[in-house]
Amino acid sequence: MKRTPFTRGLSVFWWLMIAFLYLPLGVIVLYSFNSANSAAFFAGFSLRWYERLLGNDQLLTALGNTLALGVASSVIALVIGTLIGYGMYRHRGRKLGWLVALIYLPIVMPDIVFGISEMAFFITMDREFGILGPSLATMIIAHVTFQIPFVALIVYSRFVGLDPTLFEAAKDLYASPAQRARHFLLPTLKPSLIAAFFLAFTLSIDDFVISFFTAGPENATLPIYIWGAIRRGVSPEINAIATLMILTVAIAAVISLLFNKEGRRS
Amino acid sequence: MTFPPSAATAPQGAVRDASTITLSGLRKRFGGDAVALDGVDLTIRAGEFFTLLGPSGCGKTTLLRILAGLEAPDDGTLTIGGRDVTTTAPHLRSVNTVFQSYALFPHLSVRENIAFGLRMKGVPVDERRRRVDHIAEFIKLGALLDRGVNQLSGGQRQRVALARALVCEPDVLLLDEPLSALDAGLRTQLQVELQRTQKRLGMTFVFVTHDQDEAMVMSDRIAVLDNGVIQQVGAPHEVYERPVNAFVAKFMGHVNLFAIEQLDHTRVVTALGTLTMDKPLEENARAGMLLIRQEVIELGHAVSEGYNGLEGVVKERHYRGSRIEYRLEVNGVTLMATAGNLGQRLYAVGDTVTVSIHPEDVVGLDA
Amino acid sequence: MAQPPYPPARQRRTLSPDTRHLLWSVAPGVVWIVIFLVLPSLYLIGVAFMTNGPYGQPQMPLSLESFRQLAGFGFLGWSPGNLYTLLRSLWQTVIATGLVILIAYPLAYHISISPRQWRAIMLLAVVVPSWTNQVIRAFGWMNLLSPGTPLSQVAQFFGLIGPNMGLYPSNFAVTLGLIYNFLPFMVLPLYAAFEKLDAGLIEAARDLYASPVRAFWHAVFPQTLSGLLAGTVLVSIPAFGMYVVPELLGGGRAMMLGSLVAGQFSGGSNWPLGAAGALIMLLATLGGLYAMRKVGRRLGGGEEVVI
């Protein structure tokens, strides 16, 4: 398209908005290296806030919780979501509106409603039956619930992009149902499964609201820890841990994107 | 047993008795009322190159899928080598398929694709390797073995799909329009190769196509299907020269068909004129149509001795190199004639010519 | 012929293998979502109609008391606090959604007319910040808007805020935080709508109407309505229920419905009241989705815009 004042204006606006989008994150990263304890000016480069993280037991516990929650929930969601994605694909000729509606439910529900309904449910179950008291387990349950749809949709879209005769070729070439799963389905799905796992992991690390309401007192995750730290008063330490989280999530998300792309290409 | 069988152990045309296929009373319909197969009875002999021919939607692919076990018939039985396999799962049948899309596994190399069936059957690694190398040499794939399947051309994919099926040494090989995605030149070449391969192996091939030329070039016998019913089974020349009804005649191509208006022993009256047949139609033949193949019509300046003689005007001429097609008008109706190009004189549009048709080439048909 | 051409379909007393396969594959997920989301939601809806007990746990009998409280009727008579919170949530949602639309249109259009090989990367650039935890993103804005920061000083210079004050906490900071959070949700569907547009159409419109604004309004805008609709739903529903941003950037006087609801389950301990607030959010969600389906159908292509 020709360059006109209009398109030049658009371009300027674009860069302004990119600055808007990255400024808050950039400031966090910048101040995480600030030698002064200030959010107003940058005094000089220092790693002191990162050093301080290492000595913070609460924070290291939160890190452990975050990783345990992310990995455990992603693994469970991967298994359950893959099964749903496969079922949806195999039976796509049927009327599955109810299933699609059910799968979209966790996606469309506002996370605060999601979180408090789980919390109310878990607390009541604990009080009445002594099960499902708020703990790491209830957090895992809640995370799996919102991860399942994303895994299912990734797996489903991978299947849809596949030549349907491949399934028949595997049957035709003497593969039993178990062999078909092992030698055809799993290898074909592998990139998508990796993508789905990392997406689920990203979602888990990114979540605050649902974790916040389903966690027991001992189960603070990094976002919950940061939340509490902010409420107690802003400290440059938060910048350091936030920077590490931004980095982790960016890496996991890029892995997810790359594998999802590879899954679709082949 | 070594593969492919060497000339010493398996002379050319050797057949495996295990592979005679019988289908009886096969019926299949999809959904509400779409009838795919409506009572198919058929015997496919061991070691034959058998083709299911028909337009799309005639049921030929359904029939092939039932042979493969990918579709179960609503009714009827299927036996292979005397064993009833009507409800046997596809992976438990000694049948392999070359799919129209080739269905090569994208996550495997060419070698791994070819070895897939052997691996599933639990063939040991060493033997697997030997058999894959052997078939690759046989199908001329040696140089491609370590490539990914996405790096192959259409013709190469077709060969890999063929090798992948053949290496399993099935009793029957099914081929679902495997050449339809290729360009004309490659197609002709692979038709010949496929037929040669089949003869060398003595394996039963069941081939599905909608292309009658392809069917005639390759097949020992052809079954023509329409609307889920087998119309005719026979050797290519039988089906082509003696079609049993107008559908088969039209489908095989190059024909002139005329409704029979009056029939008196060997004399038959149509819009074209009055013609003589070499022998009277059988009493019970429900003959309603008269068939005259385009290539049996002789054009000239005088009617040949002992021939039916007519007179026509050339309306169009299509020069096709090895042959010339004429559209003639005879007694107000159109008659298509094809003459082999033997260097004879070409007739021009507007020329008046005599049309000679031998009584043997005047064939009565079911309407 | 005695036998009809087709025998009647075989009688099946049990489920067909096909149905059994479907159930086997989707059952774990379906059971999971039903037990851990559908049941809790139904329970929460039930709680909304129960009475608040002395320790904040819901009790029988059923009543509409919690909805009365939500409307402001309490022990001390009527007070407008809760209604203000509700209205503020609505107001913030409308403002933020409107501004997001104004920002997202030029962005999406700019991406759609950029060279093809850049578009995926440009979209990614818009989406990447939203991968970060929303607490951290809000914290980033706290860093930028707190007292003494350059942005706050500029605002002071123009007399927008008092001396030694920051741009946060404030309603303004909440609006900014909402826009920041939900901008990508609008850019993506709008870009999808622009992508489908014929570039020639825009050129033709530029010739016909001369001014870019008129070209946009007459030729482009009507064709992006379905994307706009999808984006509006994707932005406004979560914005209405937003908890983190108003909590961190708003302070006490900028409270929104999410904080009101959450408060009843932790500090305030009035489950029925919180559940009533949550029910309103749920109804708003369902209403938004319903409107999108309904209007989306009429605009055409409404099906594909859901996510």
Domain ranges of chain C: 90-258
- The average confidence (pLDDT) of chain B is 87
* Inter-chain touch B168–A173, beta carbons under 8 Å: yes
Do B76 and B173 lie in a common domain?
Answer: yes
- Best residue of C1, C3, C6 to probe chain B, by most B CBs closer than 10 Å: C6
* Inter-chain touch B99–A168, beta carbons under 8 Å: yes
Residue of B nearest to A263 (CA): B107
Closest C-alpha to C233, from C176, C280, C293: C293
Give pLDDT, residue A166. 92
Do B161 and B298 lie in a common domain?
Answer: no
Q: Is the pLDDT of residue B31 over 60?
A: yes
Residue of B nearest to A175 (CA): B120
Q: Which domain holds residue A71?
A: 48-265
Residue A4 lies in a domain: no
Do B301 and B268 lie in a common domain?
Answer: yes
- Best residue of A116, A119, A140, A246 to probe chain C, by most C CBs closer than 10 Å: A116
Give pLDDT, residue B283. 53
Residue of C nearest to A224 (CA): C135
Question: Which of chain B's residues have a Cβ under 8 Å away from the Cβ of C7?
Answer: 74-75
| Residue in B38, B39, B75 closest to C7 by CB | B75
Mean pLDDT on B79-101: 90
Number of Cβ pairs < 8 A linking chain A and chain C: 236
Q: Which domain holds residue B355?
A: 254-366
Does C214 lie at the interface with A, CB-CB under 8 angstroms? no
* Inter-chain touch A230–C131, beta carbons under 8 Å: no
pLDDT tens readout for residues A155-209: 998 888 888 899 999 999 999 989 998 999 999 888 889 989 988 998 898 899 9
Of the three residues B200, B218, B241, the one that is the final residue of a domain is: B241
Does B273 lie at the interface with C, CB-CB under 8 angstroms? no
| Residue in A17, A141, A208 closest to C135 by CB | A208
Residue of B nearest to A189 (CA): B107
Neighbours of chain C (3+ CB pairs under 8 A): A, B
Q: Do residues A49 and A240 make contact, with C-beta atoms less than 8 angstroms apart?
A: yes
Q: Is the pLDDT of residue C305 over 50?
A: no
Does C8 lie at the interface with B, CB-CB under 8 angstroms? no
Question: Which of chain C's residues have a Cβ under 8 Å away from the Cβ of B39?
Answer: 5
Mean pLDDT on C251-263: 82
Q: What confidence category does residue B367 fall into, taking pLDDT thresholds of 50, 70 and 90?
A: low
**Cα–Cα distance for residue pair A210/A139, rounded to 1 Å:** 8
Do B44 and B167 lie in a common domain?
Answer: yes
- For tokens 């009365």, name the residue: C68
Give pLDDT, residue B8. 39
Residue of A nearest to B165 (CA): A173
- Partners of B207 in the beta sheet? B51, B175
* Inter-chain touch C6–B75, beta carbons under 8 Å: yes
Q: Is the pLDDT of residue A2 over 80?
A: no
Does C166 lie at the interface with A, CB-CB under 8 angstroms? no
Does A139 lie at the interface with C, CB-CB under 8 angstroms? no
* Inter-chain touch B74–C5, beta carbons under 8 Å: no
Residue of C nearest to B32 (CA): C9
Give pLDDT, residue A211. 93
Mean pLDDT on C234-261: 86
Does B39 lie at the interface with C, CB-CB under 8 angstroms? yes
| Residue in A13, A90, A206 closest to C133 by CB | A206
**Cα–Cα distance for residue pair C35/B281, rounded to 1 Å:** 77
CATH architecture assignment, domain C90-258? Orthogonal Bundle (1.10)
Does C240 lie at the interface with A, CB-CB under 8 angstroms? yes
Share above pLDDT 90 across residues of chain B, in percent, rounded to a whole number: 48
Does C54 lie at the interface with B, CB-CB under 8 angstroms? no
Peptide bond into C61 cis (omega under 30): yes
Query: Which residues 77-136 in chain C show a CB within 8 A of chain A?
Result: 103, 106-107, 109-110, 113, 122, 124-126, 128-129, 131-136
How would you classify residue B352: left for phi > 0, otherwise alpha for psi between -120 and 50, otherwise beta?
A: beta
**Cα–Cα distance for residue pair B232/B228, rounded to 1 Å:** 12
Of the three residues B183, B206, B241, the one that is the final residue of a domain is: B241
Residue A5 lies in a domain: no
Residue B4 lies in a domain: no
**Cα–Cα distance for residue pair B105/B141, rounded to 1 Å:** 17
Question: Which of chain B's residues have a Cβ under 8 Å away from the Cβ of A187?
Answer: 107-108
Q: Is the pLDDT of residue C300 over 60?
A: no
Q: Is the pLDDT of residue B287 over 70?
A: no
Q: Do residues B327 and B316 make contact, with C-beta atoms less than 8 angstroms apart?
A: yes
Contacts 24+ apart (CB under 8 A), B328-335: B328/B299, B328/B353, B328/B355, B330/B272, B330/B273, B330/B355, B331/B271, B331/B272, B331/B273, B332/B271, B333/B258, B333/B271, B333/B272, B335/B256, B335/B272, B335/B292, B335/B297
**B222 to chain A, closest Cα gap in Å:** 24
How many residues are recorded in chain B?
Answer: 367
Do B145 and B185 lie in a common domain?
Answer: yes
- Give the helix ranges, DSSP H, for chain A: 5-32, 48-54, 57-90, 97-108, 111-129, 136-160, 165-172, 177-179, 186-206, 209-214, 222-232, 236-265
The values of phi and psi at residue C195, to 5°, are -55, -40
* Inter-chain touch B99–A179, beta carbons under 8 Å: no
Q: Is the pLDDT of residue C5 over 60?
A: no
Q: What confidence category does residue A266 fall into, taking pLDDT thresholds of 50, 70 and 90?
A: low
Does C17 lie at the interface with B, CB-CB under 8 angstroms? no
Residue A12 lies in a domain: no
* Inter-chain touch C44–A1, beta carbons under 8 Å: no
Give pLDDT, residue C75. 64
Q: What confidence category does residue C154 fall into, taking pLDDT thresholds of 50, 70 and 90?
A: confident
* Inter-chain touch C183–A21, beta carbons under 8 Å: yes
Neighbours of chain B (3+ CB pairs under 8 A): A, C
Of the three residues B241, B269, B285, the one that is the final residue of a domain is: B241
Name the domain count of chain B: 2
Q: Do residues A191 and A259 make contact, with C-beta atoms less than 8 angstroms apart?
A: yes
Q: Is the pLDDT of residue A3 over 70?
A: no
**A26 to chain C, closest Cα gap in Å:** 8
Name the domain count of chain A: 1
Mean pLDDT on B332-361: 89
- Partners of B77 in the beta sheet? B24
**B232 to chain C, closest Cα gap in Å:** 21
- For tokens 């051309």, name the residue: B153
Closest C-alpha to C243, from C213, C211, C266, C209: C266
**C84 to chain A, closest Cα gap in Å:** 20
Residue of B nearest to A266 (CA): B106
If DSSP codes are grouped into helix, strand and coil, which group holds residue B228?
coil
Query: What does the DSSP 8-state code read for residue B55?
Result: S
Residue of A nearest to C125 (CA): A18
pLDDT tens readout for residues A76-132: 999 999 999 999 998 887 888 888 889 988 988 888 999 999 999 998 898 888 888
pLDDT tens readout for residues C192-222: 888 877 666 666 766 766 676 777 777 778 8
Mean pLDDT on B214-243: 93
pLDDT tens readout for residues B288-332: 888 899 989 999 888 888 899 899 999 999 998 889 999 999 998
If DSSP codes are grouped into helix, strand and coil, which group holds residue B342?
coil
- Partners of B223 in the beta sheet? B52, B233
Mean pLDDT on C21-32: 90
Quick one: CA torsion of B350, B353, B358, B362, rounded to 10 degrees?
30
- Give the helix ranges, DSSP H, for chain B: 60-68, 110-121, 125-138, 154-166, 184-201, 212-218, 236-241, 246-252
* Inter-chain touch A187–B107, beta carbons under 8 Å: yes
Residue B79 lies in a domain: yes
| Residue in A14, A121, A206 closest to C110 by CB | A14
Number of Cβ pairs < 8 A linking chain A and chain B: 70
Does A69 lie at the interface with C, CB-CB under 8 angstroms? no
**Cα–Cα distance for residue pair B289/B244, rounded to 1 Å:** 11
Q: Is the pLDDT of residue C163 over 70?
A: no
Looking at residue B222, which CATH number applies to its domain?
3.40.50.300
Do B304 and B190 lie in a common domain?
Answer: no
Looking at residue A149, which CATH number applies to its domain?
1.10.3720.10
Mean pLDDT on C50-70: 75
Residue A179 lies in a domain: yes
Question: Which of chain C's residues have a Cβ under 8 Å away from the Cβ of A227?
Answer: 135
Q: Is the pLDDT of residue A234 over 80?
A: no
Give pLDDT, residue A64. 92
Do B187 and B293 lie in a common domain?
Answer: no
**A199 to chain B, closest Cα gap in Å:** 22
* Inter-chain touch B101–A172, beta carbons under 8 Å: no
Does B89 lie at the interface with C, CB-CB under 8 angstroms? no
Does C295 lie at the interface with A, CB-CB under 8 angstroms? no
Do B297 and B325 lie in a common domain?
Answer: yes
